[in-house]
Amino acid sequence: MRMNLDGQLALVAGVADDQGFGWSIAKALHAAGAKVILACWPPAMGILTKSLDRGKLDMTLPGLSEERTEFKIEKIYALDAVYDSMDFVPEDIRTSKRYQDVGDFTIQGLKKRIKEDFGDGALTIAVHSLANGPEVQKPLLETSREGYLAANSASSYSFVSMVREFSPIMRKNGSFLCLSYLASEKVIPGYGGGMSSAKAALESDTRVLAYEAGQEYGHRVNSISAGALASRAARSIGEINKMIDFGAKRAPLKSALAPKEVGSAAAFLCSDLASGITGINLYVDKGMHAMGLCPEGGL
């Protein structure tokens, strides 16, 4: 059985470089045959496009047939998923140099541009690889209300908004996917600022959205709980290296988690091979989620 996404259009939101899970998911979707479009945070758009133009990004697709050996991106859009529409964008953001000249960077703006560029019903897959917590290095007890709500807005409500806005323009029986982390259900010191709460909300919302979007549109909604990865974005978490080391010592599988492993799992969940799967949280973390007391001690 071959994973076949030929003729499908996939959006991966939250890609700014070639180091994170979002990039690997996008490559895996393209490897399976999908046309891929990316959505990038406006302040990072320049870096991403320049790196792409200068050939500094890993575009290889190893192990594929000769006709599809390099990652091809159909289009890159600006997206700040904190904002549903331009009506909610503060004036200082509208006039910021980092946001000028990128057009409508809201979720509704992205929906409109995808519809204009590819047509109504062209989109079949939407991946939410977005997370941000301005106070992520603070313990929860020291997190401000503003920081807590900001983390949940950017990291979890944005997925609700994406499913709401993109479902009507998506081909029936489409697929939505988001990325979570073990901190949603276990205590991970150093993953603070309300981010653990945001991931817990994201997983709960996945189940509810699976029901609602499934009933109304026939779409599937799933999440992947990926292991820790020292991506550029994750380096803002001061304890990220400790999280990786902890997993390496205690996970059932000792090999380091590779982004492509998350990418392959994501492509599977978005394909017809998983047509009967919705509302799940799939662990791709070398088995770390299954562990309690380990031989070395600790949780």
User: Tens of pLDDT along 24-41?
Assistant: 999 999 999 999 999 999
Give catalytic residues, as residue numbers.
156, 199
Mention every residue, 6+ apart, whose C-beta is less than 8 A from residue 146: none
**Is 156 part of any domain?**
yes
Non-local (6+) Cβ contacts of 272 within 8 A are 4
Contact yes or no for 203/281 (Cβ under 8 A): yes
* Closest by CA position to 206, among listed 249, 175, 172: 175
pLDDT 10s digits, 64-100? 555 667 899 999 999 999 999 999 999 999 999 999 8
Q: HSE, CB side, 13 Å, CA atoms: give it for residue 187.
A: 5
User: Tell me, what CATH number does 61's domain have?
Assistant: 3.40.50.720
pLDDT > 90: percent of the chain: 79
The reply to whether 294 falls in a domain is: no
**Per-residue pLDDT tens over the stretch 231-288:** 555 555 556 666 677 777 788 998 889 999 999 999 999 999 999 999 999 999 999 8
Question: Once rounded to an integer, what is the mean pLDDT over residues 54-71?
Answer: 79
Q: How far is CA 42 from CA 13, 99, 104, 108, 150, in A?
A: 12, 6, 10, 15, 17
Report the alpha-carbon angle 293-298-299, nearest 5.
60
At residue 10, the pLDDT reads 98
Domains contained in the chain, number: 1
Residue 135 is part of which domain span?
9-286
Residue 296 within a domain: no
Which tens digit of pLDDT belongs to each residue from 112-152? 999 999 999 999 999 999 999 999 999 999 999 999 999 99
pLDDT at 299 > cutoff 50: no
* Residue 40 within a domain: yes
Q: How far is CA 153 from CA 40, 48, 102, 134, in A?
A: 17, 24, 22, 11
Asked if residue 281 belongs to a domain, the reply is yes
- The answer to whether position 38 is within a domain reads yes
Residue 53 lies in a domain: yes
pTM higher than 0.75: yes
Residue 185 CB-density burial (10 A; 0-12 exposed, 13-18 middle, 19+ buried): middle
